[in-house]
Amino acid sequence: MGAATIRWVKGGQFIGIDSTNHSVVLSTVAEGIGIKPSDLLLIAIGACTAVDVVDILRKKRTPPASLDIQVSGEQNTDPPWAFTSIHMKYILKGKGLTEKNVAQAIELAEEKYCSVSATVKGVAKVSTSFEILSEDAD
What is the secondary structure of 50-111 as a DSSP string? HHHHHHHHHHTT---SEEEEEEEEEE-SSTT--EEEEEEEEEEE-TT--HHHHHHHHHHIII
The predicted pLDDT at position 67 comes to: 98
- pLDDT tens per residue across span 24-49: 999 999 999 999 999 999 999 999 99
pLDDT interval class at 69 (50, 70, 90): very high
- pLDDT tens per residue across span 54-64: 999 999 999 99
Say what the pTM is. 0.91
The predicted pLDDT at position 92 comes to: 98
Nearest to 103 by CA among 60, 136, 66: 60
Task: Give the residue extent of every domain in the chain.
Answer: 1-35, 37-133
pLDDT interval class at 135 (50, 70, 90): confident
Dist. CA 56–CA 39, nearest whole Å: 26
Cis ω for the linkage preceding 80 (within 30 of 0): yes
- CATH annotation of 37-133: 3.30.300.20
